[in-house]
Amino acid sequence: MIPSLSPESLEAWLLWQHQLQPFTFDENFAEEINSSISEGITKVFNKLECSSVSVAPVAKNVEEPVDKSLSPLERVRARAERCSACRLAAKRTNMVFGEGNPEADIMFIGEGPGEDEDLSGRPFVGKAGQLLTKIIENGMKIPRSQVYIANIVKCRPPANRDPMPDEAQCCIGFLKEQIKIVSPKVMILLGKVAMKNLLGIESSMSKAREMTYEYEGIKVFVTYHPSALLRNEAYKRPVWEDIKKAMKYLGMM
C-alpha cells in the first residue's frame, strides 16, 4: 500500500519505489500514472494520497532475483539497465551507468550522457570526455581507471539538452547509491546540473567555485563542465585551479 505522506514525500517515495521495481497501479490509474511519471506528476500524486491503491509489479519485472555473484555496484547497474522510470528511457541506445575504480578516492560527476556515450554505454568518451581524460591523466597524473566517473542521469537527454528537473529527481537515487558504495574522499562536480542536483546550489559557477562543500561527509569541489571548456578556453585556468584544490586536499601535491 502507498504510505500516507505529504505530497512531496509521497512523490519522492513513489519515484524511488518505481526505480527499484517498476510498478503499475489499479486499472483506473495505470495509464494516468505512466504519463504522469514524465508529465503532470504532482497532480496525480495528490490524487494518490487520497486513495488507497495497491502497488502491483508489472508482469515483466516480477521476477527479480538478486544475483549474489554481482558486486554492490553491479546490482545497482542491473536495476538501472531495466529502468524506465522517466521519459529518457524511450530513446536511449544504452543506459550509461558510470565506470571506474569502485574504491576510488576521487569521483567526477557530470550531468548526463551525450551521443557518443549513448552509443558506447560509457561516460565521458566524446570530445568533452577526452578533455576530462586529459585533465585526469596529464594534469592530475593518474590513470583515468583510478577515478570513478558518473552522471546525474543515466540516459541521454534528446539533442544533448540539460536533464529536466523531474528526470534528474527520478534518476538521482542511482547516483546516490553509487556514491555510497564508492565512498570517495572527494567529489568534483562538473557543471551546474550536477551542482544543482547534488548540492541544491543554483548560483553561477564563477561564484559557486569560490567555496567547497560537503555531501554526506564527502568533500565536494565544483568546476565548469569540460564541454564549457571546449566552447570557451578562458575556463581552462579556473578549472585547473579547482582541480588543484582537490589534489591539495588529497595530498597529491
Enumerate binding residues for ligand SF4 (CB under 6 A).
80, 83-86, 88-89, 95, 153-155, 167, 170-171
Task: Kindly report the length of the chain.
Answer: 253
* 89 or 132: CB nearest ligand SF4: 89
23 phi, psi to nearest 5 deg? -135, 170
* Whether the Cβ atoms of residue 148 and residue 107 lie closer than 8 Å to each other: yes
* 166 or 242: CB nearest ligand SF4: 166
**Pairing mode, strands 186-190 and 218-223:** parallel
* 154 or 192: CB nearest ligand SF4: 154
Nearest approach in angstroms of CB 240 to ligand SF4 is 31
Nearest approach in angstroms of CB 169 to ligand SF4 is 9
Nearest approach in angstroms of CB 84 to ligand SF4 is 5
Three cell numbers, residue 127: 570530445
Nearest approach in angstroms of CB 109 to ligand SF4 is 14
* 107 or 170: CB nearest ligand SF4: 170
Rg (CA), the chain: 19
Closest by CA position to 83, among listed 37, 26, 46: 37
In terms of Cβ atoms closer than 10 Å to its own Cβ (0-12, 13-18, 19+), residue 181 is middle
* 85 or 239: CB nearest ligand SF4: 85
Nearest approach in angstroms of CB 170 to ligand SF4 is 4
